[in-house]
Amino acid sequence: MSDFSPPEHLPFQAALDDFFIYMRSEKQLSLHTQTNYARDLGKFQKYCLEKHLSALDKLTANHIRLAVAHLHRDGLGGKSLQRWLSSLRSFFQFCIKRQWMSSNVADGIAAPKSPKKLPKTLDVDQAIQFVEIEGDDFILQRDRALVELIYSSGLRLAEVVALNVSDIDWSDAMLRVVAGKGDKSRVLPIGSAAMSALKNWLPARKLFTSAAEPALFITQRGTRIGHRAVQIRLQQLSVQQGMDTPVHPHMLRHSFASHMLESSGDLRLVQELLGHANISTTQVYTHLDFQHLAKVYDKAHPRAGRKKDDE
């Protein structure tokens, strides 16, 4: 703590200087954390200077609300504003302990919620382009079966990696999946393209592993393939298959859900296939479906003429 003795109206910069000394010497926060505080509080100091707010005891909750709105208009997102408000609360709490402020004027002020990001998906043509992997060597046969199965049945990465050969009902083209959350199981259909790829994969798999290995998808060492290996292979396949954007396992799952909803319109069915406990989780795909329908409407209807913003 410094020897600084605050005047009646404490200048903002003097309080900041003392706060940074406190963080460095007493709290011994990491340099990274100190840098984040400095950046966040610097934004507020700049705002205060623009508004001619030079003394801490003159700050009110309304000043903080206006600052939040100002930073939000300048493009700062919800999560960044949450962290910014947290930095302000810590600083003001320090000032209260020093008796430079009587209350924490940032308490109870919430940042605007960030808009929920819709999951990225492939359209039907892109999905087919990605999963139609050509080649007969071990890696390519495995990868073709793996991506076809993820897209066919909407599997999570953890689910496809955990699959055993015995989880497949080869005669009825069905698949038993045990989800990681609560070990709940569900039975899913397997599409004909995925079944064909799986049956072609089995002979290659047998050449690289023993009968004692249960894993459906293995590496060339004969052991179960890992999460990271699948992610890396899909990144490489994205280039190989000429995709415009890198494809990750969850993008195939999202694409499966979106395409199923577009075709069936049955949200409960999609919920069941995905293994969502709550239908609200599945409802994000209704937004994707609406976007698709809106685009089709705009292109197809002779009297569409819709504008993005109502006048």
User: In the annotation, is 276 catalytic?
Assistant: yes
Catalytic option among 37, 47, 151, 285: 285
Q: At 159, which helix (H) or strand (E)?
A: helix 157-162
72, 81 Cβ separation under 8 angstroms = yes
176 in catalytic set: no
Q: Which of 72, 120, 248, 276 is catalytic?
A: 276
Does the annotation mark 156 as catalytic?
yes
Which of 139, 105, 131 lies closest to 218, judged by CA?
139
Name 241's bridge partners. Answer: none
For the chain, the helix, strand and coil percentages under 3-state DSSP, each to the nearest 5: 60, 5, 35
C-alpha distances in Å from residue 98, one per residue of 9, 49, 95, 103: 13, 23, 5, 12
C-alpha 69 chain-centroid distance: 25
Closest CA to 188 of 196, 179, 180: 179
For the chain, what is the largest distance between any 2 Cα atoms, rounded to a whole number of angstroms? 84
46 among known catalytic residues: no
What length is written for the chain? 311
Phi, psi angles (nearest 5°) of residue 176: -105, 125
Q: Which of 43, 142, 144, 156 is catalytic?
A: 156
Catalytic residue among 43, 144, 205, 253: 253
- Verify whether residue 248 is a known catalytic residue: no
Structure tokens at 220: 């060339």
Among 19, 177, 174, residue whose Cα is nearest residue 90: 19
Active site residue: 89, 186, 250, 292, which one? 250
Active site (annotated) includes residue 250: yes
Among the listed residues 181, 303, 307, 308, the single catalytic one is 181
**Which residues participate in catalysis according to the annotation?**
156, 181, 250, 253, 276, 285
